[in-house]
Amino acid sequence: MNHPIATPAIPSLAIAGSSARFPVHRIYCVGRNYAEHAREMGAAVERGSPMFFMKPADAIVADEGAGVLVPYPSATQELHHEVEMIVALRSGGSSLSVEQALDCVFGYGVGLDLTRRDLQAAAKAKGHPWDAAKGFDHSAPVSALVPVERSGHPTAAQLTLDINGERRQQTDIADMIFAVGPIIAELSKLWALQAGDLIFTGTPAGVAALARGDRFRAELAGIATLNGTIT
């Protein structure tokens, strides 16, 4: 194909135990999927249907095995961490049933939904969209993905985040308001899901500020770990 500019690279993630890469198509994120986090944000705990937003695929910071370096973003004084379980899709579709949904999963990982909390608060106050608060460059550091053949479909596992060796966030993914199957089914009512899609499944309570030089360790126990530094 004849393009007048260089073809942009396709963002991709490492796959544990493989030299192959997982190409990232879209990044869907679930908001307020743990009751304690919804409360700490002053939001109602909604159990009817999940709230979604998106990040651009090239917001990914992929762990190549030695940890990630995440530049402190521009235009914020309040960069917050949100540790989340990541779901990667190997297939998709529209209007999927909960039963069909898990068959779409390629694997699982752990990542941070980095957030310009000051810009998010300003956007909420004005009823503006969240893109500048959530979808900025380098806002999605993600571990290597663990294929479902190795991980199974985890329904209970500790999800933790340590900053400079101190525990900041801790939950069990069993406490998610919407589990993985229902999340995929709900997303597929709104978008045609595709192989390569990633889902950030929401963060537990304990979100707080990061500073330059902070070292983080995110872990989905028994499955995936992500180490990194804010630079």
| Nearest-approach distance from CB 92 to Mn ion, in angstroms | 22
203 binds Mn ion (CB under 5 A): yes
Contact call for residue 82 and Mn ion (CB under 5 A): yes
- HSE-up of residue 180 (Cα within 13 Å, Cβ side): 27
219 near Mn ion (CB under 5 A)? no
In the bound complex, what is the minimum distance in angstroms from residue 67's beta carbon to Mn ion?
21
CB of 178 to Mn ion, least distance (A): 13
Residues 97-136 as x/- pattern, contact with Mn ion by CB under 5 A:
----------------x-----------------------
Closer CB to Mn ion, 196 or 204, in the complex:
204
Start-to-end CA span in the chain (Å): 38
Residues composing the chain: 231
Three-point CA angle 53, 77, 29, nearest 5°: 15
Minimum Å gap between C-beta 123 and Mn ion is: 15
Scanning residues 18 to 47, which ones bind Mn ion (CB under 5 A)? none
- Greatest pairwise CA separation for the chain in angstroms: 52
Distance separating alpha carbons of residues 135 and 114, to the nearest angstrom: 9
- Cβ closer to Mn ion: 134 or 217? 134
CA separation, residue 202 to residues 70, 82, 180 (Å): 20, 8, 11
* CB 74, CB 119: distance < 8 Å: no
Binding site for Mn ion (CB under 5 A): 82, 113, 203
